[in-house]
Structure 1
């Protein structure tokens, strides 16, 4: 998905994770934690485990021992809507006691919240005699930038972190090369006596049978000279539970007759909420944990598109945030041009010093037209004309960028070539250095016109034309409609390949087509730039054996010379990619193809821990009784992956919520075999709501039961 350039400078090294371990993830806005299943963080060099804040790993060691021994893991799971990691442990033989192993029950309850980490440890003894032992917690911090963890070797010497010793708490401080001081403080609240020795807390535990001993502590992560008021574990937990309760109103409630599908919906909703960051402009979905826990333009837009029909509030926050961060000036080292939409923003040490170019970086070719598309889709869903008026100057600036900067050679197609010396070479959603190639396997020369980008530009001009007409700009509206019509004709003539039965991946800088079958072509469906006859042929191509593995549509045909099912973009399977393809297929009424994609991703989710569909998985052919093969450094959770289920369901239902006309339309829906009933409760229609039940009836027809709807709204069933 993200920062890879020629020589793979920004590639995420497979050494960044220990693939033999299962890591557990907690996240809250700018802070996230990666543990082993016991709730520990062990300093395995550059391994991903740790607690991170604002792009920096503050904590790289957090280890619990009983008299120097590692407790035995019973179970570990994420509970309460993704907010708490709950671990059950027991004891090995304890040297200071005569009690046998498996006599102690040790519970660890961990969560992150607003620049802090909290843990509760509860110890209960089941043997009849008393027991005394030392429980120790070891802490350490390395303050490494996340790009170091990803595998980038720094060419500068960094400062050392240094501890500051206090009687009641730990403190460790690091002065970055960017001049920013970062520190963490560990504060304890315990009914067990303890002493502090350097970065070790030693708790003298004296247990009587069936009486619980409890330890609480919190770690505050501080940047600059900020100081945070410490709140207790119970206060922080109560605030988390309150937010969790409030977050239930963000999404319309969807329940089905299939318990496993319901769990997928539940997990996806909670993961999506956990990735939301509170900005000055509203909520914004961060891209994913661990590598992309920050704002990305393309990711935020597509994630918002996926959930727009059930959660329009997020889209409003995305539009306002991206409008506020739209490029104003021409800054080649940032790949910034007036009107261009942000690619990503970072605030870690390496971004601040310029060692990486991503502090505020605009090297994306597609976020700008997607921004315009999202604005049009949002207005159709909400009729919120005030927001459209507010960001209309940003929409005009984005349209001007398409015409003045996007179309580099004036041929009517939008191309990219990076200007930043150390920026991204490829600037579509497949931005690996080797992701755009010819059938000969030769990499394409820039400037490169991707097929899906032309689709987005077409969609952007259609949506902008509709908005312009609504705002009274008839001349501009007509101009945009005409430009979109011309683009559609030229695109179908220049990008369609009869022999491939597919749109070519791209045109290179010499206007030579990259005659490769890829999933990019599927993105030419949901804007309806593809001629209907070509869409039908393309649907068959995308679901043929070389493109469809059984777990979804591959990013690249297995017949391609650069196909590798274990690659990032050249043969892997991305759930968001499949959701967009399914959404496009539904636009042409190709519902059997939609169902096949839906079923493949759902089936894959059943083999994945927590049903948390990751950023991507490998593109190996489906094997009976074996789940999809994991990609070792995939983000999980990731916003546009956990959002995929909602767009897939929307594609099956062919539901269109039009607040302008006040209609909810279901157009020839087909339910998959495993969903006999779908309950859509509290669909937001402005300040009102709609609820209904959809049932499969005889002969694969569907029946509707409308529970509530506003009097001035109409439900249309075709």
Structure 2
């Protein structure tokens, strides 16, 4: 009964949070806003993760999100908006400062992960609904998103998705987007080129989803084979470059000089969610995430305690975020660790 009431309340709240957006054919859509009061707007990452969570109960919300983001997908390069062809928008604002160009957030693309998340949701929507029509309608947009990951996102030249801090917008462009959130264990921020661990997990799953869509919806077996091969290669590179063998945990990020940001963060739960870790490493991560340094009883800390960078009242350096813990719970279940997943879910 408590779970049923919580789900009903969540769906009611989600309905109240919806905002208007425009689809590829000019249609009016209702999509999830990121939050009241300051984020009641379409934010790509937030809408995509929300739609992934609610997909079994509200597939129409996922469809609206995908259509709205396809309509806003970048078609050219705009340096001040961090836009490149195929990239999925991070944020669309309609306030005075955005309208008059005083801030870039009228249509801002400073997110390394919205584009792979778009592919993840499109693949999940086709699988859950057992209907390929939306995937076929958005094939051009999906292929453009894949092309962005390789051509502009860094996969082709560097082997990983990466970003560079934007002086006029966001310094960090992964989900932990506050200044200093991506750091070494001593608290030193990662600067310059940043290769965030969680984004590699999203990229891995996005490539696998693109492969599945190419087989089931687009009739392109050669493209599917290529995507599967690219996903496998990304996984191999990731385990080689990010895994901290002495700590049995992945680095939070790698900087432009190849140094591993050794702060222990909750992003490892996102790696479980996307399946980029092998079973042995996944179980090692699970054990650490359920340890007192991470698990509070209420959820998983964004940064483990006992590190110089840790601050429980910070934005991303030790606080608990419900969606972050929920992603970890889903990841634990994916690796067959159902008891641990239930522990996090109850928290």
Q: 1: CA distance between counterparts of 2:186 and 2:3?
A: 42
Residues 297 and 311 of structure 1, relative CA distance in 2, 3 Å threshold: same
Q: Deviations over 1:462-493 (max 9, x none)?
A: 00011112222111111110000111111112
Aligned residue for 2:148, secondary structure, equals: helix
The aligned counterpart of 1:544 is 291
Q: 2: CA distance between counterparts of 1:323 and 1:370?
A: 12
Q: 2: CA distance between counterparts of 1:465 and 1:283?
A: 29
The aligned counterpart of 1:271 is 13
**The one of 71, 89, 102 aligned to 1:324:** 71
1:436 aligns with 2:213: no
Q: 2: CA distance between counterparts of 1:468 and 1:557?
A: 40
The aligned counterpart of 1:423 is 169
Map of 1:6-17 to 2, 5 A cutoff? none
Residues 372, 398 of structure 1: 8 Å contact kept? yes
Q: 1: CA distance between counterparts of 2:22 and 2:182?
A: 37
The alignment covers a number of residue pairs equal to 341
Residues 554, 574 of structure 1: 8 Å contact kept? yes
Aligned residue for 2:157, secondary structure, equals: coil
Q: 2: CA distance between counterparts of 1:335 and 1:559?
A: 36
1:561 aligns with 2:303: no
Q: 2: CA distance between counterparts of 1:376 and 1:269?
A: 23
Residues 186, 309 of structure 2: 8 Å contact kept? no
The aligned counterpart of 1:464 is 210
Residues 74, 83 of structure 2: 8 Å contact kept? yes
Q: 2: CA distance between counterparts of 1:549 and 1:290?
A: 28
Residues 113, 202 of structure 2: 8 Å contact kept? yes
Structure of greater Rg: 1
Root mean square deviation of aligned Cα: 1.3
1:364 aligns with 2:111: yes
The aligned counterpart of 1:312 is 59
1:295 aligns with 2:42: yes
**The one of 222, 237, 252 aligned to 1:490:** 237
Map of 1:556-595 to 2, 5 A cutoff? 556-595=303-342
Map of 1:529-540 to 2, 5 A cutoff? 529-540=276-287
Residues 500, 515 of structure 1: 8 Å contact kept? no
The aligned counterpart of 2:4 is 262
Map of 1:640-659 to 2, 5 A cutoff? none
User: Could you tell me the TM-score, scaled by structure 2's length?
Assistant: 0.96
Please report how far the alpha carbon of residue 502 of structure 1 lies from its aligned counterpart in structure 2 after TM superposition. Answer: 1.1
Aligned residue for 1:423, secondary structure, equals: coil
Residues 427 and 378 of structure 1, relative CA distance in 2, 3 Å threshold: same
Map of 1:310-389 to 2, 5 A cutoff? 310-389=57-136
Please report how far the alpha carbon of residue 408 of structure 1 lies from its aligned counterpart in structure 2 after TM superposition. Answer: 7.1
The aligned counterpart of 2:26 is none
Aligned residue for 1:556, secondary structure, equals: coil
Aligned residue for 2:89, secondary structure, equals: coil
User: Could you tell me the TM-score, scaled by structure 1's length?
Assistant: 0.47
Q: Deviations over 1:520-558 (max 9, x none)?
A: 111001121101000011001011111111111000011
The aligned counterpart of 1:412 is 159
> Which structure has more helix as a fraction of its residues?
2
